[in-house]
Amino acid sequence: MSKIEKVRVLIAEDQTLIREGIATLLAQQNEDFEILPGASDGEQAIEFARRYRPDVILMDLQMPRVDGIAATQRILRELPQTHVVVLTTFETNDLIFEAVSAGAKAYLLKDARMEEIAGTIRAVINGQSGLSPGVAARILDEFKRLRGPRVSAKLPVRDGLTARENEILTLIVEGKSNTEIGERLHLAEGTVKNYVSTILEKCQVKNRTELAIKAITY
């Protein structure tokens, strides 16, 4: 029987009871997880990420010395293959946007069920989106609030897309429907639909929401 390759999980949380409780439950309920020694602040999370090379980090945001957003940025600069999942008690739009902009692949609250946390870990490891539709919508709302309703000149051009595809991507981020995009660019709705399908495939995402999040945060 072949040995199961385990997902290495690092928990960064300054409250010992919460950190150890999550570690115990994840280990008991998920044989495919290897729970690494936990970090009690952001600085230790950076140190332990370097030492243990986790696949996934469950990252609190409000921690001593270095906060979770700064720790996420520093870790991903050095270890870009690491997946960060935010696990926090705070859910304001600005924090969600900051965390995802820093590179977090998912955003969960500490009252999430253990099955949801484990499922999110597996999702990000498999390259799937760990963002719920509600969280994704709030990220887009915050982006529009910060940048204003017209984002056309503010999105970077994506090298893998044609000029027309980049135009359509910008309009998707602005929340335009296929009909509205067609009217703006003088294209048939069916043509727009084909363009959108191609863009989704090139950007390796499943839907328009994931596409918009990827466009504004990566």
Which parts of the chain have pLDDT scores under 70? 1-4, 133-134, 137, 140, 144, 146-157, 217-218
Number of domains in the chain: 2
Instruction: Provide the residue count of the chain.
Output: 218
Structure confidence at residue 172 (pLDDT): 83
93 and 172 within one domain: no
Q: Give me the pLDDT at residue 154, please.
A: 54
Residue 165 is part of which domain span? 149-217
What global pTM score does this model have? 0.73
1 in a structural domain = no
Domain containing 173 — which CATH number? 1.10.10.10
**β-strand pairing of 56-59 with 83-88:** parallel
Tell me the pLDDT tens digit for each residue of 35-81. 999 999 999 999 999 999 999 999 999 999 999 999 999 999 999 99
CATH number at residue 87: 3.40.50.2300
Which pLDDT does position 120 carry in this prediction? Answer: 92
> What pLDDT score does 153 carry?
46
Last residue of a domain, one of 108, 138, 168: 138
DSSP 150-182: --TTTSPPPTTS-HHHHHHHHHHHTT--HHHHH
